Amino acid sequence: MEKIEILKERLNKNAVVTEIAKEKSPFKVLISTILSARTKDEVTEEISKRLFGKVRDVDDLLKIDLEKLEKLIYPVGFYKTKAKNLKKLAKVLKENYNGEVPNELDEILKLPGVGRKTANLVITLAFDDYGICVDTHVHRICNRWEYVETETPEETEMELRKKLPKKYWKIINNLLVVFGREVCSPTPKCRKCFEEIRERCPYYKKIVYFDEVLKKYGFEKVSKNNIPPEKGTYILKIKLNRGRKIKFGNKEGFFRKGYYFYVGSALGKSINLKNRIGRHLKKEKKKFWHVDYLLEFGDVKGIYVSNKSCECDVAKDLAEIFKCVEGFGCSDCKCRSHLFYLPL
């Protein structure tokens, strides 16, 4: 992967757990990884230092009082649940593994509070063995780069095991965690990204192209409360927070998590942009257009309007670079679709 090579060269920072792993302690890697879930890096760093000042090994973890442990790891995410799991973890390590962290993935997965992300990170960082740690950053960015098409981190891991060259297995998590937190976040900071990656990023190419289409046809972004009572063409940017099967009309399809762009028009005698889009936005409505079925589960994140009659022209332009969702054309055109998909 060219983009991974670029990040190897350009990034000069490690995630917190990668830094902790330099101490060559599988116990500390395991504990700090558990603490890091749903927790900011700076908090994980501070709490790990505080905890390891009191808890140096499995025996210390067994001895410490649960209430004191909770106070030590606060405010990591779900600190009470994590404290209980850490106590259970210590007992299992002592009774089943002689107080040592096992060095096999299947055995690590048996430990309380440990999932595939944690187990893979322990394998790669603590034991320098081959694993692929997929957290939300790795999952999001690999889909955004269109290297995989998956719905969950677990699915992403399995796909990466099939196609990612093994030389990247140990490093992909650290690189994409840092990159994902600082640049390629849930709302990406594309202008802050390395130019070499932007040049190779399908997501960036598509959002730039989308802006060019908006400019070409004179679209303006408007709020839900400021839609003009004029005739014209509109685009709805719809966010679907999780993948799901959706019935539309007499059809059914699986809609992946991501953004959907729907192109429509309001050109009839008694129809204008305000009442046509307003109808789409109503919570309770008779579903006349296929997009209304999608809107039942998605949130409108952007409304773009133009006073031009350009619905099919816009749809044809978007079809040049975006993935089309079949079954969403208008009744009197030969467009491939009027609904287009962009991974989050």
Whether the per-residue pLDDT at 335 is higher than 90: the answer is no
Q: Are residues 138 and 8 in the same domain?
A: yes
Q: What pLDDT is attached to residue 159? A: 98
Residue 191 belongs to some domain of the structure: no
Residue 195 belongs to some domain of the structure: no
Which of 149, 183, 217 lies at the terminal end of a domain, its last residue? 183
Give residue-wise pLDDT tens across range 150-180.
999 999 999 999 999 999 999 999 999 999 9
Domain count, the chain: 2
Tell me the two tokens of residue 155.
């699915």
Q: Rounded to 10 degrees, what is the CA torsion of 323, 328, 332, 333?
A: 0
DSSP-derived secondary structure for 85-140: HHHHHHHHHHHHHTTS--SSHHHHTTSTT--HHHHHHIIIIIH--------HHHHH
Residue 175 belongs to some domain of the structure: yes
Residue 190 belongs to some domain of the structure: no
The residue among 97 and 248 whose pLDDT is bigger is 97
Q: What pLDDT is attached to residue 177? A: 95
Residue 336 belongs to some domain of the structure: yes
Q: What pLDDT is attached to residue 127? A: 97
Q: Are residues 1 and 149 in the same domain?
A: yes
Mean pLDDT for the stretch of residues 196-216: 97
Is 335 among the annotated ligand-binding positions?
A: no
Q: What pLDDT is attached to residue 1? A: 79
Residue 296 belongs to some domain of the structure: yes
Q: Are residues 212 and 316 in the same domain?
A: yes
Average pLDDT, the chain: 94
Whether the per-residue pLDDT at 333 is higher than 80: the answer is no
Q: Are residues 173 and 211 in the same domain?
A: no
Confidence grade of residue 88 (pLDDT, cut at 50, 70, 90): very high
- Assign residue 59 the CATH number of its domain: 1.10.340.30
Q: Are residues 173 and 280 in the same domain?
A: no
Q: Are residues 167 and 222 in the same domain?
A: no
Q: What pLDDT is attached to residue 93? A: 97
Q: What pLDDT is attached to residue 97? A: 97
Residue 75 belongs to some domain of the structure: yes
Q: What pLDDT is attached to residue 41? A: 85
Mean pLDDT for the stretch of residues 223-233: 96
Q: Are residues 161 and 214 in the same domain?
A: no
Which of 148, 183, 218 lies at the terminal end of a domain, its last residue? 183
Give residue-wise pLDDT tens across range 265-321.
999 888 999 999 999 999 887 788 899 999 999 999 999 999 999 999 999 999 999
Q: Are residues 165 and 251 in the same domain?
A: no
Q: Are residues 216 and 257 in the same domain?
A: yes
Report how far residue 155's alpha carbon sits from residue 3's, in angstroms, rounded to the nearest whole number.
21
Q: Are residues 228 and 129 in the same domain?
A: no
Q: Are residues 169 and 221 in the same domain?
A: no
Report how far residue 261's alpha carbon sits from residue 228's, in angstroms, rounded to the nearest whole number.
20
Tell me the two tokens of residue 21.
């792993």
For residue 243, the enclosing domain spans 206-343
Residue 48 belongs to some domain of the structure: yes
Confidence grade of residue 327 (pLDDT, cut at 50, 70, 90): confident
Mean pLDDT for the stretch of residues 51-60: 95
| Residue 8 CA neighbour count, 13 Å, CB half | 11
Q: What pLDDT is attached to residue 331? A: 66
Is 201 among the annotated ligand-binding positions?
A: yes
Is 193 among the annotated ligand-binding positions?
A: yes
Q: Are residues 32 and 146 in the same domain?
A: yes
What pTM was estimated for this model as a whole?
0.91
Residue 199 carries which DSSP code? T
